[in-house]
Amino acid sequence: MVPVHGRWVLVAFDLDREDWRTFRLDRLREPVLGTWRFVPRPGAEEVLARLDEPAPPSAWRHEVTVRIHAPCEEVAAHLPRLAGHLRPLEDGNTEFRTGADDPDGAARWLAMLEHDFTVVGDQEVVDAVARLARRLARSVNGGVG
């Protein structure tokens, strides 16, 4: 068990999937205290080190790609390190790849970015950003727009 982003996580090797998995302990229902013992499996150190990396966009229902209209260094200074993957683009902008389970939640989160941006991936998130933009425009135009 290790703390990750303010939550306790169990890191374990899943014998059925033959791969490492993480399980959030706050999502357990009816946990039972047991007396099992285990021998640490080789490779655990590498898995634990990856817990400090952003989750891959494919871990979410919606893979979101955003072009942020600012240099990568500036964007990185304003984003949480684990928010997603940043890549500098040749034109001086930044590609930001992340994911979301809720398109409307993603739109609200993206609206808090410090720089202008364009959502270029995941149509449901594009639509959610457009809905939020219309709603915000109505809030300053006396309900028109």
pLDDT tens, residue by residue, 4-18: 767 788 888 888 988
CATH code where residue 79 lies: 3.30.70
In a domain, 145, yes or no: no
Judge if 105 and 135 occupy the same domain: yes
- Number of domains into which the chain is organized: 2
- Rounded Cα–Cα distance for residues 97 and 86 (Å): 7
69, 111 Cβ separation under 8 angstroms: no
The pLDDT score that the predictor gives to residue 5 is 67
What is the pTM (predicted TM-score) of this model?
0.66
Judge if 17 and 69 occupy the same domain: no
In a domain, 87, yes or no: yes
Q: Domain containing 23: what range? A: 2-50
pLDDT tens, residue by residue, 29-49: 888 888 888 888 888 888 777
Evaluate if residue 85 carries a pLDDT over 80: yes
